[in-house]
Amino acid sequence: MNAGPDTPISLTTPIGAIPGVKKDHAEKLARLGVPNVGHLLAHLPHRHEWVRAEAGIADLAADSIASVRGEVTATRMTGYGRKARFQAVLMDDTGRLDLVFFNQPYLRDKIKPGMRLRVQGKAARYGPGLQMTNPKFETLEIDAPEPGATEDDQLRPVYPVTEGITSDQAEAIVAKVLGTALGHIEDHLPEELRKNRTMPALRDAYRMMHAPDSEDEVDAARRRLAYDELLLFQLGVHMKRAHLRQTMKAPPLERTDAVEKSIRERIPFELTDAQRRVVREIAADLALDVPMNRLVQGDVGSGKTVVALDAMLRAIGHGHQASLMAPTEILAEQHYLSMSDMLAGSNVRIALLTGAMPAGEKASTLAGIADGTIDLVVGTHALISDRVAFRSLAVVVIDEQHRFGVEQRAKLRVKGSVGDAGAGEFDTPHVLVMTATPIPRTIGLTLFGDLDISTIDALPPGRLPVKTRTVTSDRRDEVYAWVRSKLEKGEQAYIVVPAIDSGASSGAAQPDTLRDLRTVHKELEDAELGGLRIAALHGRLKRDTREHVMARFRAGKIDALVATTVIEVGVDVPNATVIVIEHADRFGLAQLHQLRGRVGRGGKPGACVLIADPKTPDGSERIKVMCETTDGFSLAERDFEIRGPGDVFGTRQSGVPPFKVADPIRDSKLLELARRDAAAWIGLSPNLAGPGDALARRRLLRLHGPWLGLGDVG
Ligand code: ADP
Ligand code: MG
C-alpha cells in the first residue's frame, strides 16, 4: 500500500514519482494544481460515503453502496452502438442480482458464465428483482476464500471528480502515500492550544479526512481544518493590524472646544443617540496617533453622512485635509452638493474629483489638493489615481465600502504619506469606512476583521417604515394611477428599471418582455403620467446632464425620475416618497433594499411597489422577503443564507477570503473561537516571530498573504 521502504516519499515528491501512478494521472493532477504529495493531502474529499460490508444478495438494501460476490449464470448483449448494453446475472446462495453495463460492449469478452465476480455498486429494485447499473467488479479465483466475518462497513472518501480523475483513482493514489506522507506533517498549532480546543493533531486530521474510521472522525477532522483556515486568516488580520499600529503613525486630532464648536455649527440637526455614540467612538480614535481603521455600519437612511462629515471636520480643524470616496459619480456629486451646503459660509474649501471631469478642471483640483488650498475632496475612484497627491491627508472616508476592494482601501491609506513639507508629519491617515449593506456580525469579523466596528442602530426621528407591496405586471395601470395621485399632491417618485434599452440587456434577459428605460419613460410620458414632469437618469448620460437632472429633481422641478440602478446607493431626496421597481424579481435582495431606502427619508411615509412576475423560486423568495421585512440586518442575514457571502459581495474584488473547508456562516462559533485565539496569540507575539510561531506564520502568509496584502509585513 505504501510506496515501499526504499522509496523516499516526502511532501514535495511529485505525483509522477510515486511508484505505480500513471503518468497521465500525474499530469492531470498537476493541471488541477496538485503537483506533489503535500498538495495531494490538501486535496480533500468533499464528502464521505458508506460502503457496506460484503453481504448476501438477499441482504442488499436499495440505494446504499454494497459489495456482493457470486457466480455469473448468464450474459447477453442488447441494443446497438451507443445504446448497447451488456447484461449479466449474478447468483449466490441467497438470491439473484442483475448487472447492467451501458456502453461497454467489450465486457462481453471479459465476463463469461461460470465466472465468479465481486461487484460493488448501488442496488436498485426493479419489480421483484434487484439490479445494479455499471457496478465496479473484479473477477475472483474460483477457489477464493469466502468473505470472513471480520470485513466491516467502510467509510470511503469521495473526491471531487475533475478532468478525468475519478474519485476512485484519487483515492488509490492517496492510499499509496498516505501512511508515509502523514509522518512528514508538522503541526503549526501549539500543543497546549490544540489540546485546550480538543482538536486532533494536524496529521491525524488528514488521516481522518482521507481514511476515516467513523463519521465522528470526519467531523473532528473537518472541524480542525476549518479552524485552521479561520485561525490562520485571523492571525493574518491581527498581525497586519498590530504591524500598522506599531509602525505607522497617524496625526493625533485632539478634541478642542474650538473644533467641537465649529463642527456643531455645521450640522443642521440634532444627532440621534446612535449617531452621537458613533461620533464619540470615532473622535476617541482620532485623538490618538494610532491609525484609526473603523467601519461604520448603519441601515439605509440612518444618517452616516453627517458622521463622516464630523470626522473630516476634525482633520480640517487641525489644519489637515480630508477626503470622501464614493462608489458612483452620482453619489459623489450628491455628497459634494450636500456638504457644500452644510459648509456654506465656513472657511472650509471643498472640491469634487471624478474621472469624468474636464481635464482643465481636474488639473486645477489636483493642484489644490497638492498645495493644500483644498481642504476636503469628495470623489470617486479617481481619488486613488497616482496623480492625486495630498499635502496632508489626515482623514479618509470610504462610503459604501462593500463596493470597494481591500486593495483600494489600502491605496487610499497610502495617500496620507506624501510630503515631508508642511503639516504632513505622519505616515498614514485615519480611515473610516461606511456601509449600508449590513453585515452579519460573523461575516463582519471575517471580512473586516482588521476593522473596529461602530453601528448606527437607529434611524433619525420621524421616520416611518416604508410600506412595501408587490403587484403583478397586469396591474401596472393601477400602480401608475396611484403614483399619479401622489405626484399631483406634490410628492415625488422614482421609477426603476433594470436596463436602459433591452437590446443592451444581458443575454439572459428576454428582450421581448423586458420593459426598458426608454420604453417605460415614453409610455409614462404619453399615457399614465402624461402632463407631469418626467425625466430619465442613467449612467450613460453626460455628467452635466445628470447633475442638471438631479438638481432639478432635488429642487422639486421634476415629479418623477425614470432611472436605472444609478440611484441605488446613497441618493437622498427627502421629498421623494414613492419608488416603483419594474421587473423587481431581477434585482438582488440587497439591491432592492438599497433602492427602497431612497424613499421615506423626510417626514412623509414612503411606499415601495415591486412590479414582478417572478419566474424562479429565488425571485419569488426575494420579493416575499422584501414585503415581510424592512429591517436591513435581518434582510441581510436572509440574503447571506440564500446566496452566501461570495455572491452577496459580488466579485472577487469585494474580497471574501478564500476558504476551502470553513464556511463563516455555518462555522460562526468556530470563527469566534479562532478570532479570540488569534488575538491572544498576536498579543503575545505581535509579528509571529517567536520560535514556536514560524510554521503558523509561513502558512498564513502562503494562504492569506496576497488577500490580506501582507507583503509589507511578511
Ligand atoms: P445614509 O446612512 O443612508 O447615508 P444619510 O446620511 O444620507 O443616510 O441620511 C439620510 C437623511 O437623514 C438625510 O437627509 C440626512 O440629512 C438626514 N439625517 C441624518 N441624520 C439626521 C438627524 N439626526 N436628524 C434628522 N435628519 C437626519
Ligand atoms: Mg449614505
> Mean pLDDT highest for which of 102-106, 623-627, 639-643?
623-627
Question: The CATH number of the domain where 339 resides is what?
Answer: 3.40.50.300
Pocket test residue of 270, 302, 596 for ligand 1, highest count of atoms within 8 A of CB: 302
* Shortest-distance Cα residue to atom 26 of ligand 1: 460
Q: What are phi and psi of 457, to 5 degrees?
A: -105, 20
Q: What is the mean pLDDT of residues 567-584?
A: 84
Residue 304 CA to ligand 1 centre (angstroms): 7
Q: Percentage of residues in the chain with pLDDT exceeding 70? A: 86
Whether the predicted pLDDT of 322 surpasses 50: yes
- Residues found in the chain: 714
Type and span of the H or E element at 246: helix 215-247
Q: Is residue 87 part of a domain?
A: yes
Instruction: Say yes or no: CB of residue 298 within 6 Å of ligand 1.
Output: yes
Is residue 214 included in any domain, yes or no? yes
CATH code of residue 97: 2.40.50.140
Instruction: Tell me which residue range forms the domain holding 709.
Output: 194-247+691-714
Q: Whole-angstrom Cα distance, residue 449 to residue 441? A: 10
Q: Which ligand is nearest to the CA of 276?
A: 1
Least confident of 334-343, 400-409, 480-489: 400-409
Q: Take residue 362 and report the three cell numbers written for it.
A: 481636474
Last residue of a domain, one of 456, 478, 511: 456
Of residues 358 and 443, more confidently modeled? 358
Residues 588 and 704 in one domain: no
- 498 and 555 share a domain? yes
Is 90 exceeded by the pLDDT of residue 465? Answer: no
Q: Is the CB of 297 under 6 A from ligand 1?
A: no
Q: Which of 506-510, 594-598, 636-640 has the lowest mean pLDDT?
A: 506-510
State how far the Cα of 354 lies from the Cα of 331, in Å rounded to an integer. 11
Whether the per-residue pLDDT at 415 is higher than 70: the answer is no
Residue 696: pLDDT above 80?
Answer: yes
Res 49: pLDDT: 82
Q: Is the CB of 400 under 6 A from ligand 1?
A: no
Closest residue by Cα to atom 3, ligand 1, is 301
Transcribe 98-116 into DSSP letters. EEEEES-GGGGGT--TT-E
The verdict on 619 and 706 lying in the same domain is no
In a domain, 676, yes or no: no
Q: Is the per-residue pLDDT at 440 higher than 70? A: no
Whether the predicted pLDDT of 319 surpasses 90: yes
DSSP helix, strand, coil percent of the chain (3-state; round to 5): 45, 20, 40
Q: Do residues 312 and 178 share a domain?
A: no
Minimum CA distance residue for ligand 1 atom 17 = 303
Does residue 601 surpass a pLDDT of 70? yes
Q: Is 313 left (phi over 0), alpha (psi -120 to 50) or beta?
A: alpha
pLDDT at 505: 44
pLDDT on residue 621: 86
The DSSP line for 279-329 is HHHHHHHHTSSSPPEEEEEE-TTS-HHHHHHHHHHHHHHTT-EEEEE-SSH
Lowest-confidence segment of 176-180, 219-223, 239-243, 506-510 by average pLDDT: 506-510
Question: Ligand 1 within 6 A of 269 CB?
Answer: yes
* Confidence tier at 659 by pLDDT (50, 70, 90): confident
pLDDT at residue 568, rounded to an integer: 65
Domain boundary among 424, 456, 488: 456
User: What is the structure's pLDDT at 146?
Assistant: 59
Is 81 inside any structural domain? Answer: yes
Residue 203 has pLDDT above 90, yes or no: yes
Most confident stretch, 45-54, 77-86, 448-457, 479-488:
479-488
Confidence grade of residue 577 (pLDDT, cut at 50, 70, 90): very high
> Which ligand has the shortest distance to the CA of 594?
1
223: CA distance to ligand 1 center in Å? 44
Nearest alpha-carbon partner for 399 in 540, 300, 274: 300
Residue at grid coordinates 469624468: 356
306 lines ligand 1 (CB under 6 A): yes
Is residue 431 included in any domain, yes or no?
A: yes
Average pLDDT (197-202) is 96
Please check whether residues 409 and 266 belong to one and the same domain: yes
Most confident range (mean pLDDT) of 251-265, 529-543, 554-568 is 251-265
For ligand 1, say whether the CB of 305 is within 6 Å of any of its atoms: yes
Q: What pLDDT shows up at residue 300?
A: 79
Task: Give the atom of ligand 1 at the shortest distance from the alpha carbon of 338.
Answer: 16
110/239 same-domain check: no
Q: Is the CB of 272 under 6 A from ligand 1?
A: yes
CB distance 594 to ligand 1 below 6 Å: no
Across the range 659-679, mean pLDDT stands at: 85
19 and 94 both lie in a single domain = no
Closest ligand (CA of 302)? 1
Which atom of ligand 1 lies nearest, measured to the CA of 269?
24
Instruction: Identify the pLDDT of residue 58.
Output: 85
Burial 326-352 (b: 16+ CB within 10 A, else e): bbbbbbbbbbbbbbeebbeeeebebbb
Residue of 398, 572, 596, 630 to test ligand 1 pocket, by largest number of atoms within 8 Å of CB: 572
As given in the structure block, the three cell numbers for residue 581 are 421597481
**Does the model's pTM come out above 0.85?**
no
pLDDT tier, 128 (very low <50, low <70, confident <90, very high otherwise): confident
- Measured in angstroms, how far is the CA atom of residue 432 from the centroid of ligand 1? 18
- Residue 432: its pLDDT value, please? 93
Nearest CA to ligand 1 atom 9: 303
Domain boundary among 630, 651, 680: 630
pLDDT at residue 164 greater than cutoff 70: yes
Residues 238 and 271 in one domain: no
In this predicted model, what pLDDT tens digit does every residue of 57-89 receive, in sequence order?
888 877 678 888 899 999 998 887 777 889 999
Q: For residue 672, is pLDDT > 70?
A: yes
Place of cell 496569540: 681
Residues 386 and 527 in one domain: no
572 lines ligand 1 (CB under 6 A): yes
- 271 touches ligand 1 (CB under 6 Å): yes
460 pocket-lining for ligand 1 (C-beta < 6 Å): yes
Query: From the CA of 307, which ligand is nearest?
Result: 1
- Mean pLDDT of the 159-172 span: 82
Predicted local confidence at residue 655, as pLDDT: 47
| 452-456 and 116-126 strand pairing | unpaired
| Cβ-contact 331, 572 below 8 angstroms | no
Q: Which atom of ligand 1 is nearest to the CA of 307?
A: 6
Residue 520: other Cβ atoms inside 10 A: 22
* Ligand 1 proximity of 301 Cβ (cutoff 6 Å): yes
Instruction: Using the predicted structure, report yes or no on whether residue 633 has a pLDDT greater than 50.
Output: yes
With contact defined as beta carbons under 8 Å apart, do 445 and 438 qualify? Answer: no
The stretch 546-563 carries a mean pLDDT of 91
Measured CA to CA in angstroms, residue 529 lies from 387, 497, 513, 562, 612 at distances of 47, 16, 21, 12, 20
pLDDT of residue 344: 92
Together in a domain, 127 and 167: no
Residue 124, Cβ neighbours under 10 Å: how many?
15
Q: Give 348's pLDDT tier (boundaries 50, 70, 90).
A: very high
Q: How confident is the model at residue 187 (pLDDT cuts 50, 70, 90)?
A: very high
- Residue with the smallest CA separation from ligand 1 atom 15 is 303
State in Å: Cα 305 to ligand 2 middle. 6
* H/E run at residue 547: helix 543-554
pLDDT score, position 650 = 38
- Nearest alpha-carbon partner for 285 in 456, 448, 455, 453: 453
Ligand with smallest separation from the Cα of 339: 1
Residue 29 burial (C-beta neighbours within 10 Å; 0-12, 13-18, 19+) = buried
Which-ligand-closest: CA of 272? 1
Q: Is 574 in the pocket of ligand 1 (CB under 6 A)?
A: yes
Mean pLDDT of the chain: 84
Name the strands in the sheet holding 321-325, side by side, starting at the edge strand that comes first in the sequence.
350-353, 376-379, 321-325, 393-398, 430-435, 293-298, 452-456
The total of structural domains in the chain comes to: 5
In a domain, 547, yes or no: yes
Alpha carbon distance 611, 471 (integer Å): 5
> Does the beta carbon of 438 lie inside 6 Å of ligand 1?
no
Query: Max Cα separation, the chain?
Result: 102
* Set of cell numbers at residue 569: 446607493
Rounded to the nearest whole angstrom, what is the distance from the C-alpha of residue 384 to the centroid of ligand 1?
27
Q: Which of 309, 601, 604, 630 to mutate to test the pocket of ligand 1 (most atoms within 8 A of CB)?
A: 601
Model confidence at 416, pLDDT cuts 50, 70, 90, reads: low
With both helix axes pointing from N to C terminus, report the angle between 202-210 and 215-247 in degrees, rounded to the nearest 10.
Answer: 140
* b/e map 531-558, b = 16+ CB within 10 Å: ebbbbbbbeebeeeebbebbeebbeeeb
Q: Is 486 inside a domain boundary? A: yes
Cβ of 339 less than 6 Å from ligand 1 = no
The CA 108 to ligand 1 mean position distance, Å, reads 78
Any idea what the CATH number is for the domain that residue 39 is in?
A: 1.10.150
384 and 410, same domain (yes or no): yes
Query: 27-41, 83-97, 565-579: which range is least confident on average?
Result: 565-579
CA 302 – ligand 2 centroid, Å: 8
Report the pLDDT value the prediction gives residue 508, as an integer from 0 to 100. Answer: 47
3-state secondary structure of 67: strand
Ligand 1 midpoint to CA 266 (Å) = 14
Query: To test ligand 1's pocket by mutation, which of 296, 306, 331, 402 has the most ligand atoms within 8 angstroms of CB?
Result: 306
Residue 39 domain-assigned? yes
pLDDT band (50, 70, 90) for residue 443: low
> In the prediction, which pLDDT does 533 show?
94
Q: What average pLDDT score do residues 237-256 get? A: 88
The pLDDT tens digits of the residues spanning 469-492 come to 999 999 999 999 999 999 999 999
Is the same domain home to 585 and 619?
yes
Return the exposure string of 465-494: e unless at least 16 CB atoms fall within 10 Å of the residue's CB, then b. ebebebbeeeebeebbeebbebbeeebbbb
Model confidence band, residue 308 (pLDDT cutoffs 50, 70, 90): very high
